[in-house]
Structure 1
């Protein structure tokens, strides 16, 4: 296991900046996921860590060693690509051991390393097959096995599951999670899939336009997003962003949604001073779908009944996704599977305001 330190890293092609002063520290055994939309710079950052591209400025260190100018072969990393990159004329065993052979590792040690990796990945029965005889998931296991036998300081994964179908992607996600738990390896993993990021990571780096938007645990990124981009990018359905106004009434803060006869006035639970300073101002109220229509009493002091109109219901089995009209605006909610309401019905649903996140209406940054 090793640590990784990315300090003030920039990458530009002429006047076009791809990465802008990225600062990330990855601790021993961390599973860092770089996530963001296409073109955000996450794969470029992975290439810089791997040594497949050169920095414009900044520094990358593995443990205490600066690796900016080191060739990829000298960085002691292993990379797993989305394309698998297997040699079609070699068996699975030969593919896994090829890198070790190039490093002049003895045949006995190579065979032991292959057997150990195959056992860990449950592909012992595939060792004599060629890549053309394997499924997509099996090929990905072979690609992972080739990385594992290296016993590198850091594993790099570049969207390794994007070529798999939906069910196989879920299965392989579980296998990668198990692998990390068994080995305790340091992993940097690139994906555009926020569900992959949430389920795999110990820490998530959310990127947009070459800028690091937020770095934190899955819980921090999901529950306290740094800005409205992170709020809407992480989570499915995404967080509801509702234009609102903060008002002071009778010694308490309220937030008002909508205008005219559709205005909803909701008293807030106690708020930090930063929110109190927004009294009389416009804000953006962020509510996750599961915070609307709650059925438990865990946050009783923060629960409020809010009038809504049910517009659309989408049963999913374990729950029901709903589109509601609230204060003249459409919001999403995740309701119970056996909820008694029907489309067109007006009712009151309980909203858990302990889950409320407020953003500045102009900067779109979280108020904290």
Structure 2
């Protein structure tokens, strides 16, 4: 395993900039996920790390070695592609060992490496089958096995689960996480699926338009998004963004959320108030995750506020209910208890946990608290 350092990396095709001053540092054993919408530059960045494309500026280091000008074969990386890229006329064992054979690794050593990888990925019983006889999940395991036997410094995954059905994606996600925990390997993983990003990563880089919007742990990305794009892209359902104003009364700071006639006015807890007191009198955007609405209990009892709402749409999921409610004249999403005693169309009170409130500047859309 190795560390990866990306410093001021740019990629341009003529006058079109695809990546703009990318800076990322990951340490030994990190699982970095590059996530963002289609066209944000995440696969391009992976190609630059792999050496499949040349950078226009900046520097990439693996450990202390500058790899900008190294051929892919000299970077000691292994890549798992979305399309599996298996040889159809070869068996599973031959596909896994092919790279080792090209490197003139002795036969006994190759066979041991293949057997170990197949056992780890639980495909040892498939070793003599060909790719056409395998399911999508099994093919992906073979592709992972081919990377695994190389014992590289860094594993690169390019949307490896996007061709699988929903249940198989969940199963393979678990297998990849187990593999990372067993190997302690450094992994860079590209996906557009924010659930994959949250569940797999130790570090996430959220990208948009060739720019990293935020780099941090899954908890940091989810709980303290840097801007409204990150807030809405990460999380399902996404964070509610509610137009609001901050104002003072009697030395206390209040936030007024929603439309004028039905607006909800709530006193901010002391810690939130102190962080944004200088913004009093200004328009802001209030961010609330769905699970911060309809809270039944919390360690932050000082931050709980009762709010009048109207239940509009209720979608039971089993463990909870996803609801669309009217709050402050706005439609917002809430994640409620499965046994909530209210029905669609009913007016009721729900508790909002303001310790989970995130406040963004209305003009720049950057988080201020």
TM range (shorter): over 0.9
Q: Which residue of 1 aligns with 2:97?
A: 97
Dislocated runs of 4+, deviation >3 Å: none
Q: Which residue of 2 aligns with 1:166?
A: 166
Deviations 1:176-202 (A, max 9, x none): 000000000000000000000000000
Question: Unaligned stretches of 5+ in structure 1?
Answer: none
Q: Aligned partners of 2:146, 2:320: CA distance in 1, in Å?
A: 41
Q: Which residue of 1 aligns with 2:287?
A: 286
Q: Which residue of 2 aligns with 1:36?
A: 36
CA contact (8 A) 2:259 2:330 kept: no
Q: Which residue of 2 aligns with 1:335?
A: 336
Deviations 1:111-148 (A, max 9, x none): 00000000100000000000000000000000000000
Q: Aligned partners of 1:344, 1:36: CA distance in 2, in Å?
A: 36
Q: Aligned partners of 2:196, 2:71: CA distance in 1, in Å?
A: 30
RMSD between aligned alpha carbons?
0.8
TM-score by length of structure 2 reads: 0.99
Q: How many residues are paired up?
A: 368
Q: Aligned partners of 1:166, 1:259: CA distance in 2, in Å?
A: 39
Query: Secondary structure of the residue that 2:44 maps to in structure 1?
Result: helix
Q: Aligned partners of 1:80, 1:297: CA distance in 2, in Å?
A: 43
Query: Secondary structure of the residue that 1:79 maps to in structure 2?
Result: strand
Deviation at residue 259 of structure 1 after TM alignment: 3.7
Q: Aligned partners of 2:348, 2:59: CA distance in 1, in Å?
A: 57
Deviation at residue 273 of structure 1 after TM alignment: 4.1
Deviations 1:270-329 (A, max 9, x none): 126441111011000000000000111321010000111111101111100000111111
Question: Unaligned stretches of 5+ in structure 2?
Answer: none
Deviation at residue 261 of structure 1 after TM alignment: 3.0
- Matching of residue 242 in structure 1 with residue 242 in structure 2: yes
Deviations 1:227-277 (A, max 9, x none): 000000000000000000001111111001234431211011012644111
Q: How do 1:15-26 residues align onto structure 2 when only pairs under 5 Å count?
A: 15-26=15-26
Q: Aligned partners of 2:245, 2:260: CA distance in 1, in Å?
A: 13
Q: Which residue of 1 aligns with 2:70?
A: 70
Q: How do 1:262-277 residues align onto structure 2 when only pairs under 5 Å count?
A: 262-270=262-270, 271=272, 273-277=274-278
Q: Aligned partners of 1:350, 1:263: CA distance in 2, in Å?
A: 16
Query: Secondary structure of the residue that 2:355 maps to in structure 1?
Result: helix
Q: Aligned partners of 1:287, 1:132: CA distance in 2, in Å?
A: 48
Query: Secondary structure of the residue that 1:161 maps to in structure 2?
Result: coil
